[in-house]
Structure 1
Amino acid sequence: ILGTLIDELHRRQLRYGLATLCVGGGMGIATIVERV
């Protein structure tokens, strides 16, 4: 997921990206990535 997000940030010339993941059982995680 993060690899694809980073590739798309470069391809689309975007600065920020958001990746989310639902783990199940009430757990989840979100990550904001900044292209520098």
Structure 2
Amino acid sequence: LDLKSHDVIYAEEEATVLATTHYLKISRYINGKASVSLN
């Protein structure tokens, strides 16, 4: 049970990190496209 809850916490942290990284990549991509179309 202790090991299981640890795995769940780890999976949630990993998912948060992945989501944050994904969001930053999308933001950079959108900002890049926006600056290109403004120029």
TM-score strictly above 0.5: no
Greater Rg, structure 1 or structure 2? Answer: 2
Q: Which has the higher helix share?
A: 2
Q: Which has the higher strand share?
A: 1
TM-score range (shorter-chain normalised) is 0.3 to 0.5
TM-score by length of 1: 0.35
